Structure 1
């Protein structure tokens, strides 16, 4: 009996310090900053060793702030043959931004990834796992192939639903 191959999609978010600043306002917290630094300076090399041991390729979704703040670790990811995907700049919530702000952040992220890897990113993970009403259109406009933060199907590719509106029920 021949062995069957099993394919899995691995996505690794490297939020570093950006995750604490952009999500939780931790820019003035030494503990939050230290956790972000540890995650990158210690966590990234550990993950790379683990992935190498098991011959795994993954997609690292990295905020632009992390790309700029930790160039050595980001280069290690690329040199190990892993993909870099977009994940905001400072892990800002797309729903909390204007459409223009969201586009500006996406463009800056694309530029930083292109500078590091020599090519535009194909993958995206929404910071906060939130999409605004324009996120899908922006991803299409800038040539993204997939969004790893969507969870509509588990084993099948799908096109994201956009334009749905839901009625909010007031229970007061």
Structure 2
């Protein structure tokens, strides 16, 4: 049956499965701050190639660069300005680089769920998706000593079953959906879940500007200075609206010599403004979640 042949109950069921509920934007952020800033890094590393069943040594070496070179640069940039961040890590990447995850925790950052091997949730049977997420949570807890409280689905791919699994896991937040600029509560089949959505957007993601695949028509056409300008303008408007600025970056993308300045100069620009709260995703979700009855 073609979509234009669907009865009303079919399209209604699809659109009502997971929806944005009430806004959780606070009247003021922690300690009276005007704006909240949540910096995040999706530490995919080798799993981008592994997820697709590939065995390219070259592409896996790009992933290793993320751990070997980019993460130290990123940690140094964050430490210089005393900024906490959230690192979303596929469990396989965490198993490849366990010391990286422990270092993130030791430096005051958060490690969140990002699938098992960066699989696409909509391509995985429901029972397997559940098993993979639970296995990933157990793995990150075993490596870091801390049970993850939030998830960013790999490639922001959210299945019909993902929210149910997140509720079973006892998560307090998700950061994969795009229905708002500000935090909101997720609804499942019209029911309030108590789970906070910290929304993402491709505009605020480094990969869309810099991705490269020599076998496809995919080239990094956007200069780094233009990406910094976009991110800065996104923050400036969030600050003006007294809202949330959430940025998604990837170590193997932003961590290069010609791009790390984007992170450094963005942080410096934000630091020039008064009343900014830099926080992990978990801290922001916990703060806004206190308004949920």
Asked if Structure 1 and Structure 2 have the same fold, meaning a TM-score greater than 0.5 normalized by the shorter chain, the answer is yes
Alpha-carbon spacing, 1:4–1:119, altered in 2? closer, same or farther (3 Å): closer
Q: Which gives a bigger RCO, structure 1 or 2 (Cα 8 Å, sep 6+)?
A: 2
TM, length-normalised to structure 2 = 0.52
Higher mean Cα deviation, 84-93 or 66-75?
66-75
User: 2:75 maps to which residue?
Assistant: 48
* 1:123–1:146 Cα contact (<8 Å) kept: yes
1:76 equivalent among 86, 96, 103: 103
Q: Provide the rounded CA distance (Å) in 2 between the counterparts of 1:55 and 1:119.
A: 22
User: Which protein is richer in strand relative to its size?
Assistant: 2
Question: What do residues 118-151 of structure 1 show as CA deviations (whole Å, max 9, x unaligned)?
Answer: 2211110011211110100110111111111122
Cα separation, 1, equivalents of 2:33 and 2:98: 39
SS of structure 1 residue aligned to 2:102: helix
1:15 aligns to 2:41 (yes or no)? no
Aligned with 2:65 (options 38, 46, 50): 38
CA distance 1:5–1:54, shift in 2 (3 Å): farther
Are the counterparts in 2 of residues 64 and 88 from structure 1 also a CA contact under 8 Å? yes
Do 2:158 and 2:176's aligned partners in 1 also have CA atoms closer than 8 Å?
Answer: no
2:172 matches 1:145: yes
Instruction: Tell me which residue corresponds to 2:127.
Output: 100
Moved over 6 A (4+): none
Q: Which runs of 5+ in 1 are unaligned?
A: 165-172
Asked if structure 2 preserves the Cα contact closer than 8 Å seen for 1:61 and 1:87, the reply is yes
1:11 deviates by 1.5
Match of 1:159? 185
Give aligned pairs, total.
159
Structure 1 residue 159: deviation in Å? 2.3
CA contact (8 A) 1:67 1:74 kept: yes
- RMSD of the TM alignment (CA)? 1.8
Q: TM-score, normalised by structure 1?
A: 0.86
CA distance in 2, matches of 1:100, 1:120: 22
Larger Rg: 2
Give the match's secondary structure for 1:42: helix
Structure 2 gaps of 5+ residues are 1-31, 191-293
